[in-house]
Amino acid sequence: MSHDLARASVLCFVSLALAAPAACGSSKSNEAVAVAELAPLGASAVDGTVTFTSKNGEVHVEAKINGLQTGDHGFHIHEFGDCSAPDGKSAGEHFNPDHTDHGAPKATRHHAGDLGNLAGAGSGKQTTLDMKLEGFTLDTGARGIVGRSVVVHAAPDDYTSQPAGNSGARIACGVIRLKDGDTQPVTAPK
């Protein structure tokens, strides 16, 4: 074994021992997890959990939502991590770092926060969603969604009405927080 290869092996072993697996190419090093605990807005009874897992530039979104009536419901990431207003307006508009038109999540141009529609399972059943998306990151950078919010709407997103898809009232909201670590919500400018 060459001297350089032996030295690299020792450095990798030392890095692992010091809990720094990124130095050795561990697959866990590129993974981040954030969770939004949805709470009802207004007279709604909708709640649940949305989990975001980022790995290798792609974000896996899993939602488990309770109390959602049968039919489609707009589902978006909003610009602020503030769910304090009873109508959810404190969450601001859709997260839109590229200043594009609203659209479907897989369209060429759309807001980074356009997640599409949730297909409500109906009374007493849990609505689930499992999809992968690109266009945002699990951090606090320019495309980051950590500290922002997830909002569920009463009506379906039509994917064409500007600026937000005509999705109706906001019926549930939750701040996106890193699973491990402290998250400061993104707030509206004063």
> Which letter, b or e, does each residue of 13-28 get, where b requires 16 or more Cβ atoms within 10 Å of its Cβ?
eeeeeeeeeeeeeeee
Residue 85: CATH number of its domain: 2.60.40.200
Domain match, 88 and 145 both: yes
Predicted TM-score (pTM) of this structure? 0.79
Better-predicted residue by pLDDT, 94 or 68: 68
Residues 111 and 131 in one domain: yes
Are residue 103 and residue 150 in the same domain, yes or no? yes
**Same domain membership, residue 104 and residue 23:** no
Domain count, the chain: 2
Q: In angstroms, rounded to a whole number, what is the distance separating the alpha carbons of residues 126 and 156?
A: 18
User: Domain range spanning residue 12?
Assistant: 1-29
Does 89 share its domain with 5? no
pLDDT, residue 49, reads 97
Summarize pLDDT for 13-53 with one digit per residue, the tens: 333 333 333 333 334 456 889 999 999 999 999 999 999 99
146 Rama sector, left if φ>0, alpha if ψ -120 to 50, beta otherwise: beta
CB 57 within 8 A of CB 65: no
Query: Are 169 and 107 found together in one domain?
Result: yes
Q: Are residues 23 and 40 in the same domain?
A: no
Are 36 and 92 in a shared domain? Answer: yes
- For 92-151, write each residue's pLDDT tens digit: 998 888 777 766 666 666 556 667 788 998 878 899 989 887 778 888 888 889 999 999
pLDDT digits (tens, 9 = 90+) for 139-170: 888 888 999 999 999 999 877 766 765 788 99
CA distance 94 to 114: 7
Q: Is residue 183 part of a domain?
A: no
- Looking at the fold, whether 121 and 165 belong to one and the same domain comes out as yes
